[in-house]
Amino acid sequence: MAQNHATLFTATPGTFAPRPTLMARLVDVMLDWNDRARSRRQLAGLTATELKDIGLTQSDVTIESSKPFWRF
């Protein structure tokens, strides 16, 4: 199950949130890249009916799934 990586470095109210280390930020970026690549693979695997249900065309999917993992 995917988790929200933004919550890895947030403090609870009233507590101090230390600044994430370079390694922690690097891991967070890599996890985001992995999530993005996985999402694009899943999008590319949808059927025409599923795409219609979410309001996308095959052209939209082709454009999105052709992007490298580091691009938004």
Measured in residues, the chain has a length of 72
Q: Would you say residue 42 lies in a domain?
A: yes
Q: What would the pLDDT profile of 16-68 be if each residue is shown by its tens digit?
A: 778 889 999 999 999 999 999 999 999 999 999 999 999 999 999 999 999 99
pLDDT classification of 1: cutoffs 50, 70, 90: very low
Q: In a 3-state reduction of DSSP, which class is residue 6?
A: helix
The amino acid that residue 60 corresponds to is D
Instruction: Give the number of domains in the chain.
Output: 1
Instruction: Judge if pTM exceeds 0.85.
Output: no
Q: Would you say residue 32 lies in a domain?
A: yes
User: Higher model confidence: residue 32 or residue 8?
Assistant: 32
Q: Would you say residue 8 lies in a domain?
A: no
DSSP single-letter state for residue 21: P
Q: Would you say residue 53 lies in a domain?
A: yes
Residue 57 sits in which domain range? 20-64
Q: Would you say residue 70 lies in a domain?
A: no
